[in-house]
Amino acid sequence: MQSFQTKMVKLSMSRQLARTLPLLGATFLATALLATAHQSPPRVLGVLDNDKEITVKRGETITIRLPANPSTGYSWYFFSGNDPWKLKSRKYTQTPANPRLVGAGGEETFIFETTAPGTGYLRLINVRPFDPKVALENIWQVQVKVKNR
């Protein structure tokens, strides 16, 4: 059997807990919102962004999605030099509406991570490796300015 004093201590603790939990929950939520407020959403670029200028912070990612059809012999190529970004991944995805059609096109996705402050052109060229000519419409580029956080 519990003493009266033990019951009062438990009652007091449960009341304090009842008052503290909502405050802890609100504090946690506010902290999470502030943490995500400083993160920029991933930058996703496509065909319509050709020849644009963008500004990003060091450490952010740039995703580029362009139409592709490797069955024609054409592929997107990225040439790098001393750029303030690095290629993290590259992936071709066939259009879901045409998964069984031979020669059906899709989308090529490149993901770059910015590594240092600087400016440069992020350029992709859609060519056949055996064809020395490159048409202007097969060049996609954006000028990227990478700033420190």
Can you give 42-107 as a three-state secondary structure string?
A: CEEECHHHCCEEEEEECCCEEEEEEEECHHHCCEEEECCCCCCEEEEEEEEEECCCCCCCCCCCEE
**Interatomic CA distance for residues 83 and 114, integer angstroms:** 9
pLDDT of amino acid 147 = 96
pLDDT of amino acid 133 = 84
Q: Residue type at 134?
A: V
pLDDT tens-place string over residues 21-58: 455 455 554 554 444 445 566 789 999 999 999 999 99
